[in-house]
């Protein structure tokens, strides 16, 4: 997926930044840190990159299959890429 340069919502400039992905699941809150996203400098809308999307899908699947339940909140940190 090509990197977004302009915000589809307001036409503002998009910046590639790290964000945090949080979702509710039957195992509790899942928070994944350091996710790549294109974020609008004007309205703040966030679009996750395709890679980030895929990564999240995998992690969430793993959590739900492995039945991680010792913590209310499972936090995963993405290995920093160059």
Q: Which residues, numbered 26-45, are part of the site for Zn ion (CB under 5 A)?
A: 40, 42-43, 45
- Residues binding Zn ion: what is the number (CB under 5 A)? 8
Query: Binding of Zn ion at residue 12 (CB under 5 A)?
Result: yes
Query: Binding of Zn ion at residue 10 (CB under 5 A)?
Result: yes
User: Which one of the spans 12-20, 47-55, 61-69, 70-78 is the region binding Zn ion (CB under 5 A)?
Assistant: 12-20
Distance of CA 80 to the CA centre of its chain: 14
Q: Return the number of other C-beta atoms located less than 10 Å from residue 82's C-beta.
A: 2
Structure tokens at 13: 């400039």
Pairing label, strands 73-77, 46-48: unpaired
Q: Which of 36, 63 has the CB closer to Zn ion? A: 36
């Amino acid at each position: 997926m090509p990197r977004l340069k302009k915000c589809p919502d307001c036409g503002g400039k998009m910046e590639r930044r790290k964000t945090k992905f949080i979702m509710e699941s039957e195992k509790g809150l899942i928070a994944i840190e350091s996710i790549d996203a294109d974020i609008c400098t004007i309205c703040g809308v966030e679009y996750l990159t395709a890679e980030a999307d895929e990564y999240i899908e995998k992690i969430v699947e793993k959590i739900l299959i492995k039945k991680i339940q010792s913590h209310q909140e499972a936090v995963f940190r993405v290995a920093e890429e160059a």
